[in-house]
Amino acid sequence: MVDCGEGTQMQLRKYKLKIGKINHIFISHLHGDHTFGLFGLISTLGLLDKSSDLNIYAPPPLEQIVHDHLDAFDIHIPYRLVFRDLDCSKSEMIYEDKNLRVETIPLQHRIPTCGFLFHEKPGLRNIKKEAIEEFNIPVREIHRIKEGFDFTTESGEIIPNEQLTREPQKPRSMAYCTDTLYTENVITKIAGVDLLYHEATYMQDMADQAKESFHTTSQQAAMLAKKSGVGKLVLGHFSARYKNLDLLLEEARKIFENTFLAEDGAVFNID
């Protein structure tokens, strides 16, 4: 999960997402609209008898804030909270497993803030079912072949891997950038990602207000997407003054056509 604003639990239930499967939460910065849902979520996970660790990646003050909250309300949870302090002044890899790595993206806001870059790792090659039958490949050899090795038949014939497998799916990537001034410093980190989520708090006619409050306009977000060569741009973090979000979408699409709005319940394919 990335950020945890007020009402997060209600939204998770509304869209039938399994709360108990959340094991990692990435917090961009310590403003309430990105953190107020965390306290209730931690408590609810305890009521659901969560047993695995909950890993929280956030600027340093959050760990003490959360523990003070748990103590003040006499909340006892059956699982372990593991905090990883983020240094928002630099980019670093903060998480890695066999499928994914996550890096931070330094942003410019009123308080220490970082975005997140999610990179899928290359998968194994896909073995052809017909090749398994044709060459009578035993189960014990399938994983080796997926890793790129050739196969030797019982008669000693070497079958090249290219004949046995297909290319794996291209690794996917996503960048998350909120809240921040327009800054081209992020381009080297987000260049070529499949999907960029970027804040678009204001329209361009309020560019001065955006700069003063350390936010971005929809036009600026689109310019950044274009300069970074991303595949898809998703706008979010809209000011409550806008009742018609299509105005922000139209402004952005004039610069970067493949732009969409991050509305409640929207689903975007990353490919």
- Catalytically annotated residues: 33
DSSP 212-252: HTT--BHHHHHHHHHHHT-SEEEEE---TT-S-THHHHHHH
Residue labelled with tokens 């600027």: 59
How many CB atoms sit inside 10 A of residue 101's CB? Answer: 14
Q: Who contacts 6 (Cβ-Cβ below 8 Å, separation ≥6)? A: 32, 33, 36, 37
How many CB atoms sit inside 10 A of residue 201's CB? Answer: 26
Distance from C-alpha of 77 to C-alpha of 67, rounded to nearest angstrom:
11
**What are the contacts of 85-91 at 24+ separation with CB within 8 A?**
85/58, 85/59, 85/60, 86/57, 86/58, 86/59, 86/60, 86/112, 86/114, 88/29, 88/59, 88/112, 88/113, 88/114, 91/189
Distance from C-alpha of 3 to C-alpha of 188, rounded to nearest angstrom:
23
